[in-house]
Structure 1
Amino acid sequence: MTIGQNAEKTKRDGSLARAARATLLAGGLLAMAGPAWADPAQTYYERSFVLAADARCDLFQPRVNAALIAAAYQARGAALRSGAAHADLSATAARARSRAASISCANPDLKTVRARVDHAFAGWSRMPRMDFEGWSANRSVYSTPTWRLMQASASGAAPVQFGFGGTDPVLSAVVSFPGKPRPVAARVVMRDATLLPRPWLLNDALPPVSVRTSLWATGVSPADEGLLAAERRSGEAWRFPAHTTLALAALDPREPFLVEFHFRDGSVATARFTAGDFSAGRAFLAMGSL
């Protein structure tokens, strides 16, 4: 082989290597809604890297950025459920940010990744609905209020749905109790991340009362028909303060939280939920309505 042929081969091999690296990196970003990944921590690394590169180099439009944020939260939740430790995932994200900081915005690999991600999310950004762990998200616009992000549960025979309904920016719980007794108050109960920063995963239960937070509903009204559970004709919608969203987002995806309904006679009806991929669902909604 001549010197010229060697040089040409080296150039060709270098181009193929760059394309392969870009393909591998973009590949982890394309299976957005898959239920599991062979290596969720690696997927989280890839998505964190692209987000960090986007923050530096302004690679993507806002809708694609929101989709990538949803994908990163989704991958993080999958990694935690597969047994990854919070500390390890924090280190993974730090490595991704460090790598992104060391790469030029003009790097050809990054340009290839940008093109592939843009192509993949061009279709994904038009998806009106997506199911995340524990949550159903819906970006469609209807003439009457419906759920945008919702998780369903029950308290005895009463169906309870919790999430963002209609155009309301705060979380609410819609419940349909049979019979005449109605609750006089409602609250969301969960771990207080400011008092207990680490997740509480013992026996799938809430932590001790001393490190819980109680977020009482700020109001109640008849529920819109589109927010009622199937075959229910009436119910109440309990609205919770705005900071409930931040408190829920601070939970580990595996942690439970409760919605309690308090009655005048002192009895309490409880519906159980799981934090799941709440943050991923919120990021999906941030892509805008369709």
Structure 2
Amino acid sequence: MRIGQIRKIAITAVVAASSALAPAVGWAVTGTYYDRAFVLAAHEKCRLFAAPVAGALSAATLQAHGAALRAGATEADLTTTARRARARAAEVSCRNPELVVVRDRVTNAFQGWARTPRMSFPGTRAEWTANRLRAAEPRWRLMQASMTGASPVTFGLVADAEGREALSAVVSFVGQPRPYAVRIVMRDPSLAARPWLTAAGVGTLPPEAQRRTVWSAGTKAADASILVEGRTQGETWRFPDAGAEALAALDPREPFLIQFLFRDGSIATARFEAGDFAAARAFVALGTI
């Protein structure tokens, strides 16, 4: 890789970092993703960054991946882009002086980003809200809000008072009996390799035969600190870690459902968007502040 190319990537990476993961409006569809993927691959080869900066860069790379998909790139496009970025990084010597420029500029840009306590990750129709502030009571680390009928449903990662996180859904039903089970319903990539998109590029669930279900692993009364404002009671339904891994693998344009099952055979459904769950989760993984 020529020196000028490395310098250009350094500058682009710094601008991308200072955007604090803002939507990539005005950027080339895959250009930002290529630049971040190159710097990340160079780090994996040469250990350029301390852990907080590397974690921030990983989250930013995932966000650029989602932004490119929403801008019209295909997964095949991005696979090729990532392959090119890794190949370019493999050609660069870890002793290349321009790589030092990349390291210093990206470190300076992402150090402040890594200290950011809260961040929103907008999607097509919904957003994930991340919170890294320490708390002495249970708190949402990552959440997206929805409704089923008139009842609010919040879904994401809840941290208990000891900081242990669990994928959870919190619901406050009014005038209904308690559900006996809750499940996440999403596309199963092993049965439908690509997301189902409408002609307008909006994600939709595939037929039932190509869906995956993740069942809840337990329930308890919701702590007041994680209830929707104005609600005084609710239930927390916890899911296994496999649910988070499955959601992180979805296309950001895809919906998924949280379904509450009742003994009379009825089902209450809340709709969510995968969005930048993977990037937001990586941001939360940087730790509390």
Same fold, TM-score > 0.5, yes or no: yes
Deviation (angstroms), 1:288: 1.1
Shift in Å, 1:200: 1.8
Superimposed CA distance per residue, residues 65-112 of structure 1 (whole angstroms, 9 cap, x where no aligned partner): 110111011111110001001101100000000000000111122111
Structure 1 residues without counterparts, runs of 5 or longer? 1-13
Q: CA deviation at 1:15?
A: 8.6
Select which of 193, 201, 221 maps to 2:189.
193
* 1:23 matches 2:22: no
Amino acid at match of 1:264: R
User: Greater helix share, 1 or 2?
Assistant: 1
Deviation at 1:35, TM superposition (A): 2.1
1:234-289 CA deviation, whole Å, 9 max, x = no partner?
A: 10000112210111111100000000001111111000000000000111011111
**61, 71, 77: which is aligned to 2:50?**
61
Q: Is the alpha carbon distance of 1:15 and 1:272 closer, same or farther for their aligned partners in structure 2, counting shifts above 3 Å?
A: closer
SS state at 1:109 partner: helix
Aligned length: 277
CA distance in 1, matches of 2:3, 2:11: 12
Aligned residues with identical type, % of pairs: 53
* 2:139 counterpart residue number: 146
Encode CA deviations 1:197-221: one digit per residue, 9 max, x unaligned.
Answer: 2112236421011111111111110
RMSD of Structure 2 on Structure 1 (CA): 1.8
8 Å contact kept, 1:21–1:109: no
Shift of 1:21: 5.9
Taking the aligned partners of 1:87 and 1:21, their CA distance within structure 2 comes to 22
Larger displacement relative to structure 2 (131-140 or 47-56): 131-140
Q: Secondary structure of the residue that 2:258 maps to in structure 1? A: strand
> In structure 2, the residue corresponding to 1:273 is in which secondary structure?
strand
- The verdict on how the C-alpha distance between 1:20 and 1:275 changes in structure 2, with shifts beyond 3 A counting, is closer
Are the equivalent residues in 1 in contact too, given 2:7–2:102 (CA < 8 A)?
A: no
- Give 1:162's aligned amino acid: F
1:165 partner letter: V
Q: Could you tell me how far apart the structure 2 residues matched to 1:64 and 1:21 are? A: 17
Do structure 1's residue 36 and structure 2's residue 24 form an aligned pair?
A: yes
Q: Measured at CA, do residues 92 and 265 of structure 1 come closer, stay the same or move farther in structure 2, by a change above 3 Å? A: same
Which runs of 5 or more residues in structure 2 are unaligned?
A: none
Give the corresponding residue for 1:81.
70
SS in 2 for 1:170: strand
Aligned to 2:180: 184
CA deviation vs aligned residue, 1:155-193 (integer Å, no higher than 9, x gap): 011000000112343311000001252211110000011
- Judged with a 3 Å threshold, the aligned counterparts in structure 2 of structure 1 residues 25 and 228 are, in CA distance, closer, same or farther, namely closer
Query: 2:167–2:238: 8 Å Cα contact kept in structure 1?
Result: yes
Q: Aligned partners of 1:28 and 1:180: how far apart in 2?
A: 48
Contact 2:146 2:153 in 1 (8 A): yes
Partner in structure 2 of residue 285 of structure 1: 284
> Is the radius of gyration larger for structure 1 or structure 2?
1
Name the counterpart of 2:111. Answer: 122
- In 2, the alpha carbon distance for the partners of 1:114 and 1:140 equals 28
* 4+ aligned runs moved over 4 Å, structure 1: 14-21
Amino acid at match of 1:152: A
Question: Compared with structure 1, are the counterparts of its residues 212 and 168 closer, same or farther at alpha carbon in structure 2 (3 Å cutoff)?
Answer: farther
Q: Taking structure 2 as the reference length, what is the TM-score of the superposition? A: 0.91
